[in-house]
Amino acid sequence: MANIVLLGRCNLRCPYCFAENYTHGENEDITDDTFAHLLDFAAPDKEIGLIGGEPLLHKNIDTYLDILSDDPRFLRVTVFTNGIFINKHIKSLLDKKIILLINVNSSGDIGRENFSQIDENIGMLCEYGMKERITLGINIYEENQNFEDFLYLVKKYNFKKVRVSVVIPKDRSEGAINYFMRMKQTMLSFYKELAALNVCPCYDCNAIPECVYTEEEKAFLSTLPYSNDTERDIFMGKRSVCSPIIDLYPDMTSSRCFGCSGEPRLKIKDFYNITDLRNCFFFSTDSVLVHIPSRSECEDCYKFKTFSCFGGCLCYKKSAEK
């Protein structure tokens, strides 16, 4: 799936947020002509994501959602949002093709008023029968993080599946494996909270390698209520690779994903369609970075040698290369 970056602006300033680096501080909002061109370019994927910044801040977001609802080339549209402005665009968001991934931050980070608005908006969506098309997401970004507000929403609306992501830090000098080792007790504590609620976790990116966990920790992870074997393998660290997602920007450039967004972007006009561009990123980025070990111990690892483990996000590899 490709993502269209509608704008670089956001109404929040979350402490871990990568968006300023991700969008290069751009103030440019996508134009109608560029949006139409990017839809044509991304059509072979048959699904699209709308991201930002906060995509619901774009002045023409309702028009764009209506266009996508009527476009037979796209079977699914995922809107990545902080959830605060859902009530202002509820009519356009009700189409059965639209999926909402609501990134939930604590009231301590975004303020009690904003959190209450998210709570109210989720309730509204559920009343409209959209619950099955909502996923709550959480970013784990600090040790001993407080998950109380997130779990409150999970329990209140009886969600049985949530998206989990371990934030890629802005400073990557620590290295992926050391960072995961430092963060894993916080992650495991959160997973135990989910297990107690019989909630299925699904992973986003920056997958954690198997070597980070002890045998006891892996035994616990194996008991979580996953929705499928692929999710189980990802959480167990048996599958810690990814493929280019592709983010398409208002200036008609592209990056492999947000993790690699600091690298020089490719011009969309130089490629036939999204498949052509994805293949380019695979051969120019992935096939190079997979050969860089996350740490010296990786060099003798079978999974590293067979390209079945990236040892964390490829952006760490780029840092190591530099």
Please check whether residue 126 is in contact with residue 153, taking contact to mean a CB–CB distance below 8 angstroms.
Answer: no
**How confident is the model at residue 172, as a pLDDT?**
83
Burial of 90 from C-beta contacts in 10 A (0-12 / 13-18 / 19+): middle
**How confident is the model at residue 150, as a pLDDT?**
98
pTM, full prediction: 0.94
Q: How far apart are the first and last CA of the chain?
A: 29
**How confident is the model at residue 236, as a pLDDT?**
87
**How confident is the model at residue 28, as a pLDDT?**
85
**How confident is the model at residue 318, as a pLDDT?**
64
**How confident is the model at residue 238, as a pLDDT?**
85
Identify the architecture of domain 2-321 in CATH. Alpha-Beta Barrel (3.20)
**How confident is the model at residue 206, as a pLDDT?**
84
Which residue carries 């997958």 as its tokens? 207
**How confident is the model at residue 13, as a pLDDT?**
87
Q: Cα angle vertex 297, ends 176, 233, to 5°?
A: 60
Which residue carries 């135990």 as its tokens? 192
Where the chain has pLDDT below 70, the residues are 18-27, 318-322
**How confident is the model at residue 22, as a pLDDT?**
55
Q: Which residues does 75 contact at the CB level (< 8 Å), separation at least 6?
A: 46, 47, 97
Quick: pLDDT tens for 80-107. Answer: 999 999 999 999 999 999 999 999 999 9
Please check whether residue 123 is in contact with residue 28, taking contact to mean a CB–CB distance below 8 angstroms.
Answer: no
